[in-house]
Structure 1
Amino acid sequence: MSSGIPLINITDAAAGADSSKATPVEGLRAVLDNLDALVYVSDFETHELLYMNAYGHKIWGSFEGRKCWEVLQDNDSPCDFCTNHLLIDSEGAPSPPYVWEFQNTLDKHWYQCRDQAIPWTDGRLVRLEIATDITDRKEMELALQEAHEKARAAALEDDLTGLHNRRAFFELGNQLLKQSRRNRSALAIIMFDLDHFKQINDNHGHEAGDEVLRQIGQILASKVREADIAARIGGEEFAILLSEADVADASELAERLLGLMRETPVRFREAGILATASFGVSALRTEEQNLETLLARADEAMYESKALGRSRVRIKA
């Protein structure tokens, strides 16, 4: 809509016009009033509403003598998201139109807005906005985005224990490793494998084995910090990355987890199943650049635990 259109006279009939014929102003008003979108004009400095089409009247009511933020947002002061500063250049001259999307705080609908600063017929600068309701489209977009986020979360979560899975462990773990390198902070790892897990499945059934894994997941979730990464990385194999922790911190946590396993039999039907684990602990070395070498060293320590009789913690610094 060009600045030459006499919008200020939209609501007035042209003086002396032949009442039997529609004037250009009346024709323009008919066009704007039949748009399925809000069209309004407000003073650039005072924010007083100068014009609003029928669509706006229907939703927001009377505007005469009121500010745009009073009518459209039911605010008592200018909106903190006002785009006026984006509609003019450094010298105060009109810039190209600015298109954006937002959710109206009053009616909760989503709108795509086309804002532009234009000269008014009396020479002052005004804001022209055309706002189209895109609520249906936006809600579909948001629902799709939520579905994608849920799908991604599901792809990174172990279904049985609710912990991170192997993919998430390496994806998030590499980020934690980079952060540790950047901040020159400590990073430690715990790996453990449940002892004689095949016997649990053979003696009590796979449902019992699943219940053991679920309880181990609950123990881990309750004892690790939000900044740490706990994951089930194999059948009965688990790993924990501890941010800003050294080998002593990791060893202490491993001993605590082992103690909880020894003290907490898993109740399954009539059976009380005692599950223990063999732990391996290590910490990031100065020269190490990837997660795989850290994991491999903890894995070595874990197998030393198994070789020494299981149900214990070994450290490989």
Structure 2
Amino acid sequence: MSSACSADKGASSVQSAQGKQSYQAIETILNSLDALVYVSDLHTYELLYINDYGSAQWGPIAGRKCYQVLQVGQNSACQFCTNHRLLNANGEPNGVYVWEFQNTQNGRWYQCRDQAIRWVDGRLVRIEIATDITERKEMEQQLAEAKALAERQANTDELTQLYNRRAFFNLSRQVVHQVHRAGNMLAVVMFDLDHFKQVNDQWNHAAGDAVLVNIAAMAQSIVRGSDVLARVGGEEFAVVLPDTNEEQARQLAERMRTGFEQHKIAIKQGQIGCTASFGIACANLAEIAGGVEPQAMLEDLLHKADQAMLKAKNSGRNRVCLYNDAADRGTAP
């Protein structure tokens, strides 16, 4: 054998050894990752490779499709498969696509990095690296729930669980804007509990709180889902009623008034009866100029409803009074 042939064979042997070492190094790296790495045919979905992490979580390939190994009860490609996102209009790989997904088999969340590449035999395959982010998602969920709770608490009256004054004005402005755009009727009802100070003085503040809670619950059961009911003061409440005319508002207020009058609130010392005085103001927002701000419209209606409520109190309490532009203009609130 010539020295040249021996040298070629030696070089080939070295290259083969180096290639084997490189393959083993890549295998070692992939199998050391704390993440799923798999490769599947982009068109047939046949699993061509899965690392040790994936095998430990989902089992061996065993000639199966990716959806058969990684998902539950799948007999065809997943509806959420991202393969179509990995190729451009010319059918060539177009880079990495990152998304988050909750696995159907183990319920855990993963951040997935998907990419189409050419496999060793030239075919297009999908390579995915999926990192478990379940703890992060749980933390995000906890933070979202805490934020939602804080928002509810910021908008909720602690005692009655109705909207508080802040939430009332924020929500009511939105309602006024929507009703104004539609050109519909809007009504505002304000009511104040009669002789409420006497309840606190005669019984105690705990009894007064019980009255407020009961009244709030009764009022909530009467208003519609689209209405905005809130406790806006100590014993004062307000309701904004979209798409409601004067007669409809009066009927709703009368149902509340009658319900309050007939209801007895049980406390340790006995039973407490409580009534309320109601004031109503209505407007046809189609007749109001477009340049008027929702805040100004709302404040005007609240002012008028407050005047009507004062008239109800001055007329003997436990009654419903409507604001009359001609008769009530100039009445001190």
TM-score, normalisation: structure 2: 0.85
| AA aligned opposite 2:85 | L
Cα 1:119–1:182, aligned 2, differ >3 Å: closer, same or farther? farther
Instruction: Choose which of 46, 49, 60 in structure 2 pairs with 1:62.
Output: 60
SS in 2 for 1:160: coil
* 8 Å Cα contact 1:50-1:64 kept in structure 2: no
Q: Residue 108 of structure 1 corresponds to which residue in structure 2?
A: 107
Shift of 1:92: 2.2
The within-5 A match list for 1:55-94 is 55-74=53-72, 75-94=74-93
Shift of 1:90: 2.5
| AA aligned opposite 1:183 | A
SS in 1 for 2:167: helix
Cα distance in 2, alignment partners of residues 294 and 95 from structure 1: 59
- Higher helix proportion, which one? 2
Instruction: Choose which of 269, 289, 295 in structure 1 pairs with 2:293.
Output: 289
Q: Residue 308 of structure 1 corresponds to which residue in structure 2?
A: 315
Residues 135-164 of structure 1: CA distance to partner in whole angstroms, max 9, x if unpaired?
A: 112111111111111111111111111111
* 8 Å Cα contact 1:212-1:275 kept in structure 2: yes
Cα distance in 1, alignment partners of residues 89 and 280 from structure 2: 60
TM-score, normalisation: structure 1: 0.90
Structure 1 unmatched runs, 5+: 1-13
SS in 2 for 1:89: coil
Cα 1:186–1:106, aligned 2, differ >3 Å: closer, same or farther? farther
* 8 Å Cα contact 2:183-2:284 kept in structure 1: no
Aligned-residue CA RMSD (Å): 1.9
Cα distance in 2, alignment partners of residues 85 and 156 from structure 1: 45
SS in 2 for 1:151: helix
Q: Is 2:258 the partner of 1:259?
A: yes
The within-5 A match list for 1:273-288 is 273-286=272-285, 287=288
Cα distance in 1, alignment partners of residues 110 and 231 from structure 2: 44
Q: Residue 271 of structure 1 corresponds to which residue in structure 2?
A: 270
Cα 1:214–1:80, aligned 2, differ >3 Å: closer, same or farther? same
Q: Residue 136 of structure 2 corresponds to which residue in structure 1?
A: 137
Cα 1:125–1:147, aligned 2, differ >3 Å: closer, same or farther? same
Name which of structure 1's ranges 42-51 and 280-289 shifts more when overlaid on structure 2: 280-289
SS in 1 for 2:209: helix
Name which of structure 1's ranges 103-112 and 263-272 shifts more when overlaid on structure 2: 263-272
Residues 218-267 of structure 1: CA distance to partner in whole angstroms, max 9, x if unpaired?
A: 10121122222111111000111223222221110000000001101222
Cα 1:178–1:88, aligned 2, differ >3 Å: closer, same or farther? farther
* 8 Å Cα contact 1:300-1:316 kept in structure 2: yes
Cα 1:179–1:96, aligned 2, differ >3 Å: closer, same or farther? farther
- Larger CA Rg, structure 1 vs 2: 2
Cα distance in 2, alignment partners of residues 49 and 81 from structure 1: 17
Residues 159-179 of structure 1: CA distance to partner in whole angstroms, max 9, x if unpaired?
A: 111111111111222222222
Q: Is 2:248 the partner of 1:249?
A: yes
Structure 2 unmatched runs, 5+: 1-12, 325-333
Q: Residue 180 of structure 1 corresponds to which residue in structure 2?
A: 179
Q: Residue 5 of structure 1 corresponds to which residue in structure 2?
A: none
Cα distance in 1, alignment partners of residues 225 and 174 from structure 2: 15
* 8 Å Cα contact 2:184-2:284 kept in structure 1: no
Cα 1:117–1:18, aligned 2, differ >3 Å: closer, same or farther? closer
Q: Is 2:57 the partner of 1:53?
A: no
SS in 1 for 2:87: coil
Cα distance in 2, alignment partners of residues 85 and 248 from structure 1: 59
Q: Residue 236 of structure 1 corresponds to which residue in structure 2?
A: 235
Shift of 1:195: 0.8
Shift of 1:22: 4.8
Cα 1:128–1:183, aligned 2, differ >3 Å: closer, same or farther? farther
| AA aligned opposite 2:45 | H
